[in-house]
Structure 1
Amino acid sequence: MTPALDEDRPTATRPTAGDPPRWSRYVACGDSFTEGLWDAPDGPDGPLRGWADQLASHLSRRRTAAGLPALEYANLAVRGRLLRPILTEQVPAALAYEPDLMSIVGGGNDILRPAVDVDRVAADLERTVAHVRARGVDVLLSTGFDARESPLVRSTRSRAGVFSAHVWSIARRQGAYVLDPWGMRSLLDGRMWADDRIHMTTDGHTRVAQGALVALGLTPDRADWDDPLAPLPPVPRLVQARADARWLREHAYPWATRRLRRRSSGDVRVPKRPALAPVE
């Protein structure tokens, strides 16, 4: 999943698939995707997990199995964040921990806005990636999601596609790794997505975590991480219409209301794992 790298740019060293992960400090930066909505394996009132937490667990387990110390991990992601606050607030805080691996994943909330300048967003991202790479830190980026199967979200598909193309180019120029949800066939299935149709279920996050292992040059734990699910029978039109109406009432309307009020679901939230700590 990682493109070829320019010879005159710093390169991310590709590990051998069977080797234990060399990274000892990993900090995740981002929005609700990296925070882990709605991966709550202990129930809706339990703590959120998410693909980045799962990735950290995989890396830590492989390190300890090889006799290395457990991975130290922090997750600074907060739901609702646009890319610029991720770059200007979370990334500097992450660098203070002197990580050797950082995931910088954002832009989805920007892409939801019709007036977004995707080229500017990508330029901001590349400046930050170049700065982080110059510090000797490996960077994991992510493409957007392909929303072609979502009749209510696919209006953003062209913007997400342009942003994803930028991500691949940034990674090639700056020597970064790329997680590629856009190319994951399994994520086209509606069962990978929560009721709000924007965030993933536990199974969706689990598959993305496996994709992140592949992006980092490591062998995934699941052979079926990218396989589509067996198709379900067609949903009756009336049932689908009722589901769409419920989605508009419970998710789309509150989101639009927050937009009009210039509010975010993460305005009063803080990172769930703000300090480096060993992953048990």
Structure 2
Amino acid sequence: MVPESLLPSSGRRVFVALGDSFTEGVGDRDERLPNGVRGWADRVAEKLAKAQPGWKYANLAIRSKRLRHIIDEQLEPALRMRPALVTLYAGGNDILDLKTDMSTLMADYEELVARLAATGARVVLFTGFDVKVSALLEPLKKRNTFYNQQVRAIAGKYGAVLVDYWCLDAFHDRRMWDSDRLHMSKAGHKYLAGQVLDQLGVPHKIRPKDWEPPTPLTLREWERRQRRWVHDWVLPLFGRKLRGVTLGDALTPRWPEPVKVPRKGGLKKLAAGASDGGNAP
């Protein structure tokens, strides 16, 4: 049973997505779209347009951004768009920085949510998932737990919709994650889009993958995957940290201004029209 919609039945229909790689769509590759990714937010925008024609969508999220970057670079542009719906996931990259003071981080996070809520927009917040990447990251679990407790409290205080990502058991399946083990796969992004739509009361036909139970890895397979993961992801990550660069430094927002989402063909149709020099509807 779909709950009553939490979206406006009429008036301004602008959806703005803020954040980092989680919201940009990293892990859900699609070269036909800006920055080469799709992601859950694009999917939500497309379902909104089907349920209520006339929705416009902007996605300002860029991979690797810390909370301070989101506040400095994304907040004011979002406010100028006068959104009816805002999604925010921020702070995950800060948690991974051991120098981050968590109390200060969450105070800044609350101030950001307060600014968004003051616009009258429907605000959607997310807890963080306890990603089982490596035993080396287990000490961060306490920080993630504190983050989630604060996000839940802030969501309640400001009347935000909460997508409790921490509690979504489907993400315990490794197939919901990309090869870097930190970002959702296409299946993960699709599933999360369904969870967001459920919380907003928007009808959709997104269904979980009907997978067979995962095949246990042999010791040799596990070792091979570990070596590949360290070579492809861990070493480059540490290299970037030593150089003081991130994967998002050269990127711009995927949808920097609100675009009207076509009811048929979705954002891929819009991107194709832009690449052809035409005007997509």
User: TM-score, with normalisation over the residues of structure 2?
Assistant: 0.84
Question: Is 1:212 equivalent to 2:196 in the alignment?
Answer: yes
Structure 1 residues 149 and 76: CA distance shift in structure 2, 3 A: closer
Say if 2:151 is the partner of 1:183. no
Q: 1:265 to 1:42 in 2, by over 3 A?
A: closer
The structural deviation recorded for 1:113 is 1.6
1:105 to 89, 94, 98: 89
CA contact (8 A) 1:146 1:188 kept: no
Letter of the aligned partner of 2:49 in structure 1?
S
Which amino acid is 2:4 matched to?
Answer: T
**Counterpart amino acid of residue 36 in structure 1:** G
Matches within 5 A, 1:180-259: 180-219=164-203, 221-222=205-206, 224=208, 229-259=211-241
Q: How far, CA to CA, are the matches of 1:114 and 1:199 in structure 2?
A: 20
Q: What residue is the counterpart of 2:22 in the other structure?
A: 33
**80-89 or 44-53, which moves further after superposition?**
44-53
Runs of 4+ with >6 A deviation? 18-21, 43-46
1:138 and 1:19 mapped to 2: Cα distance?
Answer: 7
Q: CA deviation at 1:20?
A: 8.2
Matches within 5 A, 1:76-115: 76-115=60-99
Higher helix share: 2
- How much does 1:38 deviate? 1.6
- Contact 1:147 1:153 (C-alpha < 8 Å) held by counterparts: no
Q: Cα deviation per residue 1:46-81 (whole Å; 9 max; x = unaligned)?
A: 8311011111111111113xxxx2x10000011110
* Aligned partner (choices 247, 250, 254) of residue 272 of structure 1: 254
> 5+ residue gaps in structure 1?
1-14
Amino acid at match of 1:111: I
What amino acid does structure 1 have at the position aligned with 2:125?
A: L
Q: Equivalences for 1:12-161 in 2 at 5 Å?
A: 16-17=4-5, 24-41=13-30, 47-64=36-53, 69=54, 71-148=55-132, 151=135, 153-161=137-145
Instruction: Structure 2: state its 5+ residue gaps.
Output: 263-281
Counterpart secondary structure, 2:252: coil
Select 1:169's aligned residue among 140, 144, 153.
153
1:175 & 1:19 partners in 2: Cα distance? 14
| Residues 21, 240 of structure 1: alpha-carbon distance in 2 compared, 3 angstrom cutoff | farther
AA partner of residue 45 (structure 2): A
Using a 3 Å threshold, how does the CA distance of structure 1 residues 103 and 20 change in structure 2: closer, same or farther? closer
Q: Distance in 2 between matches of 1:207 and 1:246?
A: 27
Q: Number of residue pairs matched?
A: 259
Distance across 2 between alignment mates of 1:149 and 1:93: 34
1:20–1:63 CA contact under 8 A, matched in 2: no
Secondary structure (helix, strand or coil) at the match of 2:52 reads helix
Do the aligned residues in 2 keep the contact of 1:75 with 1:271 (CA within 8 Å)? yes
Cα separation, 2, equivalents of 1:162 and 1:221: 34
What's the RMSD between the two structures over aligned residues? 2.5
Q: Which amino acid aligns with 1:279?
A: V
Q: Give the direction of change, closer, same or farther, for the CA distance of 1:241–1:195 in structure 2 (3 Å limit).
A: same
Cα 1:18/1:125, change in 2 over 3 Å: closer
Tell me by how many angstroms 1:125 deviates. Answer: 0.9
| 1:212–1:150 CA distance, 2 compared to 1 (3 A) | farther
How far the C-alpha of 1:196 sits from its partner, in A, is 0.7
Q: Is the 8 A contact 1:40 1:46 kept in 2?
A: no
> How many angstroms does 1:169 deviate by?
0.3
Q: Percent identity?
A: 36
Secondary structure in 2 aligned to 1:270? coil
- Once the two structures are overlaid, the 10-residue window that deviates more, 113-122 or 256-265, is 113-122
Secondary structure, counterpart of 2:36 in structure 1: coil
Kept in 2, the 8 Å contact 1:41–1:202? The answer is no
Please report how far the alpha carbon of residue 123 of structure 1 lies from its aligned counterpart in structure 2 after TM superposition: 0.9
Provide closer, same or farther for how the CA distance between residues 139 and 18 of structure 1 changes in structure 2, counting only shifts above 3 A.
closer
